[in-house]
Amino acid sequence: MTRRSTSISKRAAVVTATAALALGTVGTVAATAGTKDGSGMPSKAQIAGLFDQWNRTLQTGDPEKVADLYAKDAVLLPTVSNKVRTDHAGIVDYFEHFLQNKPVGKKIQTIVNVLDRNSAIDTGVYEFTLTDPDTGAKSTVEARYTYEYEKRGGKWLIVNHHSSKMPEG
C-alpha cells in the first residue's frame, strides 16, 4: 500500500465513523424525545390534554399556579377583560379576578395542529360555567379560543392564548 492510498483509507474511515456517530446520535435523540413512536412529535391528544391541565389548575383558585403554565413572554388576550396581558404579573392579575368566578371550562370543539416537536396550536370553542361570588348564581360564557404552545426546557408552556366571547347571532 502506498502512502497516498493509506491516507485516503484513513480519511474514508474517519468520514464513515463520523457519519455513523451522527446517525446514531440523531436516532438516540429521536428515540428519547418523549413519544412512544420515537419521532419526537407530540400527539394531537397530548396537546389537547394541555387544556385539561390548565382547566384543573384553574380549580386550585391560585392565579400564580395558572400563570406558571404560561411562558415568561406569553401574550394573553383574555375572555372577560379588554386588557392585553404580556407578562407574568399581568397574567396573574387577570386570573386573580377571573378565578373569583370559580370558572369551569369545557371544550365544545377542538382542532389541534402539531407544528413540530416543540410547538403546537389548539383552537376551537369552549364554554365556561361561572359562579357569581356574591350571589352564587351560575352563568355560562361560550367563547372561541386559541392556545399556542411551545416546549421550553422540556415543559409545554402557553406562549399565546386568545379567548373571546362568541359574537351575537
DSSP letters spanning 104-156: EEEEEEEEEEEEETTEEEEEEEEEEEEE-TTT--EEEEEEEEEEEEEEETTEE
Half-sphere exposure for 19 (CA within 13 Å, toward CB): 6
Residue 38 pLDDT: 52
pLDDT given at position 26: 33
Mean pLDDT of the chain: 84
State the pLDDT confidence band at 19, using cuts at 50, 70 and 90.
very low
Kindly state the percentage of the chain with pLDDT values over 70.
76
Q: Measured between alpha carbons, how far is 29 from 31 in angstroms, rounded to an integer?
A: 5
What mean pLDDT comes out for the span 151-164? 97
Query: 49-69 b/e with 16+ CB inside 10 Å = b?
Result: ebbeebbebbeeeebeebbeb
CB-based contact 149:157 (threshold 8 Å): yes
Higher-confidence residue: 25 or 74? 74
Helix, coil or strand: residue 5: helix
| DSSP three-state, residue 81 | coil
pLDDT of residue 91: 98
| Cα torsion angle, 109, 131, 79, 162, sign | negative
pLDDT at residue 109 in the model = 97
Alpha carbon 21 to chain centroid, angstroms:
32
The reported pLDDT for the residue numbered 162 is 98
Cα 124 to Cα 143: distance, rounded to the nearest angstrom: 9
For residues 29-37, give the mean pLDDT. 40
